[in-house]
Amino acid sequence: MQKHGISINAVTVQNEPEHGGNNPSMNMEASEQNEFIKKHLGPAFCRSRFESKNSALGP
């Protein structure tokens, strides 16, 4: 994306997960997000050499 002049400064696993008006919506518990990041998103970022700052929001 950066080669096209687009910089990404944040990626979230979910978008407004507790907003009941989102349809369709998916709710992932913290443990499910952790598993997704550990097994899928994290390794994909490593393979792509995507540079990011990591943070997690708790309940």
On the question of pLDDT at 30 being above 60, the answer is yes
Percent of the chain with pLDDT over 70: 69
Report pLDDT digits (tens) over 7-23: 877 777 877 666 767 66
Q: Cα–Cα distance between 17 and 7 in angstroms, integer?
A: 24
Those residues whose C-beta lies under 8 Å from the C-beta of residue 30, and which sit 6 or more positions away, are: 58, 59
Kindly report the pTM of this predicted structure: 0.64
* Omega before 43 within 30 of 0, i.e. cis: no
* Residue with more model confidence, 46 or 50: 46
